Structure 1
Amino acid sequence: MRWVVVSRFIVLISTCLFSLISLANKPDLFLLKTYDDSKDVVGWVMSEKLDGVRGFWNGQELLTRGGKKLTPPKWFLKNYPPFAIDGELWTKRGDFERVSSIVRTKNSGDRWKLITHNIFEVPNQQGGLLERLSVLKSHLFSHSVPHLKVLKQTQIQSKQQLQNFLTEVTSHKGEGVVVRNPEVLYETGRLASALKVKKYFDTECTVLEILPGKGKYLHKMGSVLCQTATGKQLKIGSGFKDKDRANPPAIGSKITFKYYGFTKKGNFKYPVYLRVRSK
């Protein structure tokens, strides 16, 4: 019995130490807020939002957003710059599962030949975004790294141009668009100067059940279980205001929700409550 207790204690300590090490290695990155139509982004730049794995090169190691050290073959990192770069490890649109499998598995070997590293930031450099990216372009001018690419940034001339680009990307199964203020100096954290733009769809479902909340939503509605006209059931917990949670939609009522396409299993991606359907 004593040995079992000691073993469990050792496992607990090991888990805590692993968590602390991961936290210590976690890079301080910029993160995206969500765009809405009220935001004036004319004069900003836009690029496709790639659906891959975040790859942060700190000048010595390649890390994920969470701080996990990746182990690509030596040839993959040959001629990488001695300064930090931040981007997306990617193959093609709609291929996230394969990208994740390659980069997170040790000894993936030649499978890394499918990966490109698409850079959208050069941290800790002077000037605005385009000036920072030019530092990497200068390095690549004299160092050949075929799979290391600077993600194209296009200046936004109008809101319609942004919407057209978004439609073009999503019509070819792309995830969305990122818009950034090119004048802002390098910052980390979730930024109002870096926004994700996604094309969403909306549909209706009938409320089947009100599910209780937890934490700050204790004694209030946490989410609803509902069913679409095709018979597909789903839970929706996002998009509700406090007044909605205190007075949730009635069972049997129809609500409208938005979503961002479908997963490979056919489930709604990121369903968000919009409103109760007016009668």
Structure 2
Amino acid sequence: MADIADGAKLELQGSGSKPYILKNTGGVYSCSCPAWRNQSIAIERRTCKHLRKVRGDAAEDARTGAAASGTGAAPAAKSAGKAKKAGASPDAAEAKEAKEAKDKAPPLLLAHSWETDVDLTDWWMSEKLDGVRAYWDGQRFWSRLGNEFFAPAWFTAGLPDFPLDGELFGGRKRFQRTVSIVRRQDRSDDWKELFFVAFDAPSVDAPFEKRLEHCRKWMEDAKPAYAKWHTHERCKGTPHLREELERVEGLGGEGLMLRKPGSRYEAGRSHTLLKVKSFKDDEARVVGHVAGAGRHKGRLGALEVELRNGKRFSVGTGLSDAEREAPPAIGTVITFRYQELSDDGVPRFPSYVGVRIDAAPFAAAPKAKSKARA
């Protein structure tokens, strides 16, 4: 079967008068047909009959993960098709997909936000890395939702045969570049820009300190070229915490993570792991594109987005010129930062961070109750 080279596009005649445009952008394949555009899943997992015609079913099954699940078709496209035949609403299909995603997700420990109500003296403190969370199962990397990251063999060389929890990290202020690399499915040389930074060993039945020591010893003995352990230090109290937070954020870091001494690894959100940041963040789904004006005329001015509770607002800052030229597609889940919520629950001063490739899909609330513009 033929393929589409990275950065190339191909025209394929459909049933209409205009041909469909098939593209390969950094290992992510797309098609301009409605069947591809209207899937409410991450773009790297979408497929359609036109891509399958060009690349073949085997290549598309391997790329989207359908072969591993035995579906023989893109998971979301197949479930959406079943829902349509059964008369189910799109929201119901999305809710079903979210449940399926939760069922296959690795058992990760997730953090709560620090609300200044806990004395963090003697807790273990580390920088909160602005990368992509990754679970190494001893053979492959998995996202929070259980989607495989296709790392090259040379990147994983030297990693252990036991699970590690960590972050695929490309450096501070490089979140979007990191996302663009890990979402690729061609095991490209771009992975040379990343490291896997391990901060826990979930399968080791021991307190946190011994699990971290297990990570450190493995990394120092095996010396993998593209992996390292994440250093921690004891927090000496709130002044020390504030000082370190200011230092990290001044360097372009995202914030801090605090781990309770002696705590065990547990799946789900736990108050033994707290994140500390000067700003808040959240996820929202893109529901519209607002045209730009002034220097942004002819391209995106702002993203109209919706929270899980139905609140709608616009995000117009934090977007690069390239992102305004090719904005996230409708249905994409994004991360944004903000200062606080208004009295009616709308984020104030929201700023775009990037596309979330490991966010669970969510259905729109029945009715959007408010709207604000950044």
2:253 to 155, 166, 174: 174
Q: Deviations over 1:79-103 (max 9, x none)?
A: 2111100111011111111100101
Distance of 1:51 and 1:182 partners within structure 2:
24
Letter in 1 for 2:352: T
Distance 1:31 1:48 in 2: 15
Please name the residue that 1:268 is paired with: none
1:87 to 131, 143, 166: 166
The aligned counterpart of 2:186 is 107
Q: Deviations over 1:179-225 (max 9, x none)?
A: 11021111121111111100139xxxxxxxxxxx999x7xxxx7586
Q: Specify whether residues 239 and 264 from structure 1 end up closer, same or farther in structure 2 by C-alpha distance, changes over 3 A only.
A: closer
Say if 1:225 and 1:46 are closer, same or farther in 2 by CA, change over 3 A.
same
Report the Cα offset of residue 42 of structure 1: 0.3
Structure 1 residues 147, 37: CA separation in 2 closer, same or farther (over 3 Å shift)?
Answer: same
**Mapped pair 1:35 → 2:124:** no
The residue correspondences of 1:109-258 to structure 2 (distance < 5 A) are: 109-200=188-279, 223=311, 239=341
Q: 1:36 to 1:143 in 2, by over 3 A?
A: same
Alpha-carbon offset, residue 51 of structure 1: 0.8
Counterpart secondary structure, 1:137: helix
Q: Which residue of 2 aligns with 1:58?
A: 137
Normalised TM-score (structure 1): 0.68
Q: Report the 3-state secondary structure (helix = DSSP H, G, I; strand = E; otherwise coil) of the residue aligned with 2:243.
A: helix
- Report the TM-score, using the length of structure 2 for normalisation: 0.52
1:13–1:141: structure 2 CA closer, same or farther, 3 Å change rule? same
Output the amino acid matched with 2:237: S
Q: 1:60 to 1:68 in 2, by over 3 A?
A: same
- The equivalent position to 1:49 in structure 2, one of 122, 128, 133, is 128
Q: How many angstroms apart in 1 are the aligned matches of 2:79 and 2:101?
A: 18
Contact 1:200–1:258 (Cα < 8 Å) also in 2? no
Partner of 2:352: 263
- Please tell me whether the aligned partners of residues 158 and 225 of structure 2 are also in contact (alpha carbons under 8 angstroms): no
Q: Aligned AA for 1:93? A: R
Q: Is the 8 A contact 1:52 1:96 kept in 2?
A: yes
- 1:90–1:115 contact (8 Å) kept in structure 2: yes
- The Cα shift of 1:47 comes to 0.5
| Residue of 143, 147, 171 corresponding to 1:68 | 147
1:12 and 2:91 correspond? no
> CA 1:74–1:214 in structure 2 vs 1: closer, same or farther (change >3 Å)?
closer
**Offset at 1:18?**
7.8
Q: Which amino acid aligns with 1:105?
A: R
Structure 2 vs 1, CA of residues 145 and 225 (structure 1 numbering), >3 Å: closer, same or farther?
A: closer
Task: For structure 2, list consecutive stretches of 5 or more residues without a partner in the other structure.
Answer: 1-76, 84-92, 281-305, 315-337, 355-374
The structure with the larger Rg is 1
| Pair 137,214 (structure 1): closer, same or farther in 2 beyond 3 Å | closer
Q: 2-side partners of 1:131 and 1:167: how far apart?
A: 29
- 8 Å CA contact retained: 1:48, 1:176: yes
Instruction: Report the alpha carbon displacement of residue 264 of structure 1 after superposing the two structures with TM.
Output: 6.1
Alignment partners' CA distance in 2, 1:142 and 1:133:
14
1:190/1:23 CA distance change after superposition, 3 Å:
closer
Structure 1 residue 130 displacement after superposition: 1.8
One-letter amino acid of the counterpart of residue 217, structure 2? S
Backbone CA RMSD of aligned residues: 3.5
Tell me, in whole angstroms, the C-alpha distance in 1 between the residues paired with 2:313 and 2:136. 42
Per-residue displacement from partner, 1:74-133 (whole Å, max 9, x unpaired)?
111112111100111011111111100101111142111110111111102122212002
Deviation for aligned residue 1:19: 7.0
**Equivalenced residues, count:** 220
What are structure 1's unaligned runs of at least 5 residues?
Answer: 1-7, 202-212, 227-235, 249-254, 266-279
